[in-house]
Structure 1
Amino acid sequence: MNLNLYGHAGKWLMLDLGVTFADSRMPGIDLILPDPTFIEDRKDDLIALVLTHAHEDHIGAVPYLWDRLQCPIYATPFTAALVRRKLQEVGLEREVELNILPMNGKVTLGPFACELVTLTHSIPEPNAVAIETALGTVLHTGDWKLDPEPLIGPTADRKRLEELGSSGVLAMVCDSTNVFSPGTSGSEAEVRESLIQMIAPLTGRVAVTTFASNVARIASIGVAAAAADRHLVLVGRSMHRVVEAAKETGYLTDLPPTLDEDEAGYLPKDKVLYLCTGSQGEPRGAMARIARGEHRHIALGAGDTAIFSSKIIPGNEIPLGETHNQLATAGVRVITEKGNFIHVSGHPNRDELAAMYAWVRPEISVPVHGEARHLVEHSAFARALQVRHAPIIKNGDVLRLAPGEPAFVGAVEAGRLALDGDILVEIDDPAIVARRKISFAGHIVVTLVLDAKGKLAADPDVVLAGLAEEEGGDLAADIVEAVQAALPRGRGGDADTLAEAARQAARKAANRLTGRKPVTDVQVIRLRG
């Protein structure tokens, strides 16, 4: 996820405000957001938020965090269309000042003169932002690649990038995602031809899943469906939302007419192509629900084909593997990027990075958007291309670009927030920590009922959750016995002391009997005399 801040002359400019998705280590949590506390405390000096493009890791936090920032937002038409829909869902569309910039647009925001520079990526309208200040120009690339045939939108504006390089660029803050990958990342036009050839001879139903935001891929799948004489069916809310936004802003004008899911059920098997969400095996995505046999209108079986036109994002191997196996068990042929040319990356490989450095010629390279090993490799790569400085930054680092040599001058709070239902909490909130522990080790609740003198008025009550027990065993009864043995006989005691003795006894008994150390809570009820 991305939240970038540029400071100059006492003012701040934010670029992007995104989310990432939680994994199995955070049960019950869907979204992780950046903690904006640092800039929230300085929001009077926050000039604006400029969005480079519409991927979730760049815009997804806007509806959740804007109220804490309350600054104007600037975006190109397609990005603005998707942001507007997000704001409508939370009732903020009338409160947020959402300004639309044209491609290659310019706007002066306080001490920052910003210019959008067209690039290519796996979504419409990706932009670098050239930020001109009194101390120099910074080029923030956002996510990008150099696609010679992007299918949707123009190619990268090489001429303007070279002009910026000739004028002098102080620093380039640049995408590191594919720095280990040689050559170039490939073209969407090549993927289109491959999909057409792959889908044409297939029999039975065909379901294709891809990233819903990849409008060029959606267009290609539409072309492949038409070439195979199949009707295109959009499946999944985000797929409908992106297609609607694309058409609203002038894209997908040639997309074949689409059918609703319920209508497609009346078509012959070889006349339908389902375009589905869920390319990463997301449990609520359309493809995963189809694979589990839980979709209301769509079922796949023997003789059908499922095509995953996307890469496997690290961390999603397990849910995707489950989805693939469920489909295969049902007799569905599963086609992925492994061994099949059905996807290209939206990020620059080494040859593309080298070309960008040759055009822009920055004094400083600041690698971003990657894991630590990507940033280290990108820094070394930039230095090999004769960039004088290539500092490696961490979340929260404050890097001074000018005046003088680049230097780290401090660090600010840069934590993470979790969206727990409708509530934003810190990533280490006690509720989340407890839930994680319970999910791994189980939970015991012991209830003690004490009389007016502090003596047990009844046997302890034990409730277990998430703890296995041997067949024929009675784990709860064994824990009750252990708690009784740990409490003083025939005399009362301080409620807190009794509760702690009961907690330790229950937990030790559970560990002895199950090998687990469950979260253990004790409730004390005192009866009045």
Structure 2
Amino acid sequence: MAKEYTGKDLGAEDLYFVPLGGTGEIGMNLNLYGHKGAWLMVDLGIIFGDPRLPGIDVEMPDPEFIVQRREDLAGLILTHAHEDHIGAVPYLWPELRCPVYATKFTAALVRRKLAEVGLLDEVPLIEVPLSGTFQVGPFEIELVTLTHSIPEPNAVIIRTAAGTVLHTGDWKFDPEPLVGETYDEQRLKALADENVLAMVGDSTNSMVWGEAGSESDVRRHLLEVVRPLKKRVAVACFASNVARLETVIHVAEECGRRVCLLGRSMHRIVECAREAGYLRDHQPFVSEDEIDFLPREAVLLLCTGSQGEPRAALWRIARGDHPSVALDAGDTVVFSSRVIPGNETTIFELQNSLAEMGIAVVTDHDHEIHVSGHPGRDELIQMYQWVRPQVAVPVHGEARHLAAHAEIAKQCQVPQQIVGRNGMVVRLAPGNAEVVDTVPSGRLVYDGRRLLSRDSPVLKGRQKMMFNGAVAVTLVMDERGALDGEPDISTVGLFEPHEEEEDLAAVEIAIADAVQRLGRRERKDDAAVEEAAAQAARRAINRLLGKKPMVMVHVIRFE
């Protein structure tokens, strides 16, 4: 019988795959491969904060499983520079302390992230070439150039004594990516003769028929949109999509317009792209302070904020609080992006605000001005026909995406399909691939300057305050254990100013009665007094408002 996973003693015949993030969800990718006493990590990403978690900007996978084994962690390979693949590095690397491998463009972005948190001189960041080969512990690594919505996306061939895995990362087949190299078709085809054990692959668009589409098509359609416009134009897109930035710059120049970059991430991405050899053959950008000296028809604003982010440049313009840039009636805003699920409310609010200002809004529903960076069903089929793995392991998708991907693999006659979730332990070798165990997995959030579990009482308390309000009660007790004066009450998020005084009087009476009903011994016990007062306050406010707020009681005693 094949050996099951124990968490220790990974032998030369053993090969395990353990996703801790990005399987059963889109974002927060963290993947582990175990072999011959060592672990290899592929990607370490984030997602941006859930509106249901007030005060939280980013979430990331909980790496506790591998932190406990960090002496066996040989290295971290970053497939490309999107936040859901690299964003957690500055937060979690201090817990891992392993070498990090990335190609030039990805390394440029990671360096800036590390510098912001004071880790630049501490993290061993190793720059590797496109299509490069290198050794990480017992894992022999080869990068395969693919195409995506960012430069230098890589599939990772992981060779071990137990078998070979192709980890695709994020990809699509774009014959004209405009920035960077196109996908390495010959190398992918050659894998069919190399007996690939497993393909661990992107499932994002496994439910979408056809192909993702090419950046060259976007360029043609975007030029058709912008050319006839007469006044100022703003284009919002994902800053990380360097090919799209290059397209917008090209379109602007074709239409006789100068480009102004708006948003910190736009400037950072352009800086990294130029450092890696991209975006160099264009006119100089104009600054925010210079655009009003140019005719409105001679300017194109390249903006952050395509997802309705409240602090991004486009929202600030829409609110009229950008320090140096404004849009007027008759101007046009082009959204060269898709609506990420969950962002609909903020995006539509932004677009409606622009429309109310008399600004024309153009989206991908009006013209073909956006293409996905992930493979459609036809591209997945083509990849399986080229690689011919023995096992398909869908990742980077929600449960429905993983199931659809597995069905495609089955139709492509891949002998085995493993559909799992974060924390599953997949034994790829020896023997038939199967899920043999689970390990702890979860989410961490970055709260101010600290990492917390998503299940932290801190967040639960904050959620309760957000939905039900909060009450603070101060009780002064004399030496006999009796109330000295009326309870002092303050509330947040409960009462309108004109109703607060009368309603709080009823709450004060309820609290005083509850405390006075306590026995003499209980009145001298702070915990008993706090519980009675809190319960009375909750009940009184529930009767008044139908709310069950968070209640905090502070007892002061005079001896």
**Shorter-chain-normalised TM-score: which range?**
over 0.9
How high is the TM-score relative to the length of structure 2?
Answer: 0.93
Alignment-derived partner of residue 506 in structure 1: 537
Aligned to 2:31: 4
- Aligned residue-pair number: 528
Provide the C-alpha distance between the structure 2 equivalents of 1:268 and 1:173, rounded to a whole number of angstroms. Answer: 52
Q: 1:154 aligns with which of 153, 172, 181?
A: 181
Distance 2:326 2:552 in 1: 45
CA distance in 2, matches of 1:468, 1:153: 58
What secondary structure sits across from 1:149 in the alignment?
coil
Corresponding position of 1:234: 261
Aligned: 1:175 with 2:202: yes
- Does the 8 Å contact 1:454/1:491 carry over to 2? no
Equivalent in the alignment of 2:233 = 206
CA distance in 2, matches of 1:467, 1:410: 48
Which residue of the partner structure matches residue 548 of structure 2?
517
The structure 2 residue matched to 1:83, chosen from 110, 124, 138, is: 110
SS at 1:341's partner residue? coil
Q: For residue 112 of structure 1, what is the aligned residue in structure 2?
A: 139
Q: 1:260 to 1:456 in 2, by over 3 A?
A: same
Structure 1 residue 196: deviation in Å? 1.1
**Alpha-carbon separation, structure 2, partners of 1:482 and 1:207:** 58
Aligned position for 1:103 = 130
Counterpart position of 2:247 = 220
The superposition leaves residues 193-219 of structure 1 with CA deviations (integer Å, 9 ceiling, x where unpaired) of 111111111122111110000000000
Aligned to 1:65: 92
Distance 2:434 2:171 in 1: 27
Instruction: State whether residues 469 and 514 of structure 1, in contact with CA within 8 Å, keep that contact through their aligned partners in structure 2.
Output: no
Separation in 2, partners of 1:5, 1:256: 44
Deviation at 1:489, TM superposition (A): 6.1
How far apart, in 2, do the equivalents of 1:261 and 1:490 lie? 68
Q: Is the 8 A contact 2:380 2:408 kept in 1?
A: no
Mapped to 1, the partners of 2:546 and 2:292 lie a distance apart of: 51
Find the counterpart in structure 2 of residue 457 from structure 1: 484
Deviation of 1:472 (Å): 4.4
For 1:477, which of 505, 509, 529 is the aligned residue?
505
Out of 69, 76, 80, the residue aligned to residue 53 of structure 1 is: 80
Q: Take 1:87 and 1:391, find their aligned partners in 2: how far apart are those partners? A: 36
Which amino acid in 1 is paired with 2:343? N
Q: Which amino acid aligns with 2:92?
A: L
Q: Which residue of 2 aligns with 1:125?
A: 152
Amino acid at match of 1:82: L
Select the residue among 280, 287, 308 that pairs with 2:314: 287
Matches of 1:425 and 1:490, distance apart in 2: 38
Structure 1 pair 489/386, CA: closer, same or farther in 2 (3 Å)? closer
Paired letter, 2:78: L
C-alpha distance in structure 2 between counterparts of 1:42 and 1:259, whole Å:
51
**How big is each residue's C-alpha offset from its partner over 1:411-445, in whole Å with a ceiling of 9 and x where there is no partner?**
11111100001111111111111011101110011
The offset of 1:473, in angstroms, is 5.3
Give the partner amino acid of 1:418.
V
Q: Which residue of 1 aligns with 2:5?
A: none
Deviates more, 1:22-31 or 1:478-487: 478-487
**Amino acid in the other structure paired with 2:556:** I
CA RMSD of aligned residues (A): 1.2
Asked whether the equivalents of residues 265 and 297 of structure 1 are also in contact (C-alpha less than 8 Å), the reply is no
Shift of 1:255: 2.9
- CA offsets 1:462-508 (integer angstroms, 9 cap, x no match): 10001134854533222112212222169751222221111111111
CA distance in 1, matches of 2:408, 2:485: 72
1:49 and 1:435 map into 2 onto residues whose CA distance is 34
Give the structure-1-normalised TM-score.
Answer: 0.98
Secondary structure, aligned partner of 1:283: coil
Q: Give 5+ residue unaligned stretches, structure 2.
A: 1-27
Question: Within 2, Cα distance between the matches of 1:468 and 1:315?
Answer: 31
Task: Write the distance in 2 (CA, Å) between the matches of 1:470 and 1:234.
Answer: 45
Contact residue 148 and residue 155 of structure 1 kept, 8 A: yes
Structure 1 unmatched ranges of 5 or more: none
Q: Percent identity?
A: 56
Counterpart-to-counterpart distance in 2, 1:298 and 1:120:
35
